[in-house]
Amino acid sequence: MIGLPLLPVITIEFFGSGFAIVLSFMALRYAWSLVRLQPDNFIWGFLFSFCIALAAFSLSRGVGHMLRIILVYSDHGAIWKKLSPFSGGFNTMLIISASAVTIYYHKGLQAYKAIRSKAEMLTAVNSQLATSAEQLRQLNTHLEEMVDERTRNLSESEKKFRNFFEKSKDIIYFCDINGTITNINPSGRRLLGFNASENSVNFHDLFNNPKDLHHYLRQLLENGSVSDLEMECTGKDGTTRHILLSANAIYDPNDAIIGCEGIGKDMTRMKTITEQLISHEKMASVGQIAAGVAHEINTPLGIILGYTQLMMDDFKPDSEIGVNLQVVERQAKACRRIVADLLKFSRQAESVKAPIDLNKIIEEVLSVTEHTLHIHHIRVVRRFAAELPLVYGDGEKLHQVFINLFNNAQHAMEEGGELIVSTGKTAENVLVSVQDSGSGIPDAIQNKVFDPFFTTKEVGKGTGLGLSVTYGIVQEHNGAIEVESPVVDPITHTHFSGTAFHMRFPTTDKKNVNDEEHQ
């Protein structure tokens, strides 16, 4: 029989055992739900296994307690004594199982963390691979467009360089270490006088001055560049040119010089113009000196001539003294003529200027000289421009200009030839050319032909003042005169033997007339 004091305890034990069974199976069901939600989650798997062991243990223990109470308090204690060892052993086995699951959790958790770490690393690597794959896919997608754009940029860059290389008026060249030209633009071939078929031209051989070549090579070796080197070179066609040269050394990956690249500007015309300017300045100085000398000589020369003519009245012309006085008079007059030419050259003689038709001036001079020219087998060719503008000048002095030029042409064509007289016009100038077919003027003396007393004629055939006087008169008329020999046809660029003097005179207008009148 159950005593009253034990009834609450037994009741709690009985229903508590049942309630423990219910709670353990509820925990098992909840663990099962978590496992189904995340089958790969290690913690949920462990919790589910633990709940199984716990539910089995609760069931075994609760049923054992409930059965013990029913059998003992229903006077069937003998049956419980027989079942009690089995219940205890079964409970012990289940509690060992729960302990084993708990011990497995710690080892399994370490393995799970290691696996999880590897999994995260693999996930990161997979993410990177996915990103790289996406970038690669985009690169492959746009690769053709990128290649096309880069090709277009390279093509445009090459086209710009090629256009600059081909169209430049300067010399652009590339040389190897020995000076052999490996590439040169058309202007360079033309200026240096060789054609495209020549594939073995040494740039170093074109230097006329060995010192210039030594300076060029030394600068490349020491500084890697040459800047504004003035050099004189003779091309393959024999033409001498003055070049302003700049170049840079070309290096290999080991910083050894393997060649050079450079640009050369043709300064021949500039040097010629500079020499002409120097010559003009010298001519102006000589003119001032000549004027002073002429004035100083004129007075004693006049006295000598006057006294000679007075003495000639006292002696018979055929006497020895009379003949000697005639020689003195003749030489004094020759000196006076030279002095007059010096004054004309220095522009010290008085000038009377008016609007003049140069066609008419030239025709007047030819009417006097053409007969003599024909005697010397010289044919005169007139190429006069119609309606030539007037120039403001001194007719007498301009007559002297063309007389001097025609006389020079005659002396240059001793065996006959052709004298071409041409006139033309521009917006502001009248152009006159006097061209002969003679032997021409050597390059070495072309810059001296206007110098006073310079002549190539034999002694007694010229004073060397004709072209000087001509130069002075042209300058006095605000004009310019240039010599060309040999003569080059401006259209066909054909060279002709002979010499041409080209003159330029400003056309007359009210302003020019007023300026001249006030000088």
- pLDDT, one tens digit per residue, over 477-502 is 889 988 888 877 665 556 677 888 99
Q: Which residue has the tokens 């746009």?
A: 142
> For residue 477, what pLDDT is reported?
87
Residue 136 pLDDT > 60, yes or no?
yes
Q: pTM above the 0.85 mark?
A: no
pLDDT above 60: residue 457: no
The pLDDT value given to residue 3: 47
Chain segment 14-43, per-residue pLDDT in tens: 777 777 778 878 877 887 888 788 777 767
pLDDT at 518 exceeding the cut of 50: no
Q: Which long-range contacts (CB under 8 A, 24 or more apart) does 363-372 make?
A: 364/399, 365/399, 365/402, 365/403, 365/406, 366/406, 366/421, 368/403, 369/403, 369/406, 369/407, 372/410
- The confidence band for 197, taking pLDDT boundaries of 50, 70 and 90, is low
Sheet of 378-383: strand order equals 378-383, 417-425, 429-436, 499-506, 480-484
Q: Where are the domains of the chain?
A: 4-136, 171-266, 273-345, 354-517
| Beta-carbon contacts of residue 13 (< 8 Å; ≥ 6 apart) | 65, 69
Angle, nearest 10°, between helix axes 320-345 and 466-476? 40
Q: What architecture does CATH give domain 354-517?
A: 2-Layer Sandwich (3.30)
Residue 135's pLDDT is: 80
505 vs 455, higher pLDDT: 505
Give the residue with greater pLDDT, 3 vs 432: 432
Task: Please report the pLDDT score of residue 273 as a whole number.
Answer: 66
Q: Is 268 helix (H, G, I), strand (E, B) or coil?
A: helix
Lowest-confidence segment of 112-116, 318-322, 444-448 by average pLDDT: 112-116
User: Do residues 202 and 174 lie in contact, with contact meaning Cβ atoms separated by under 8 Å?
Assistant: no
Determine the CATH number of domain 171-266. 3.30.450.20
Buried b (16+ CB within 10 A) or exposed e, 90-99: bbeebbebbe
Please state whether the peptide bond connecting residue 486 to the residue before it is cis, i.e. omega within 30 degrees of 0: yes
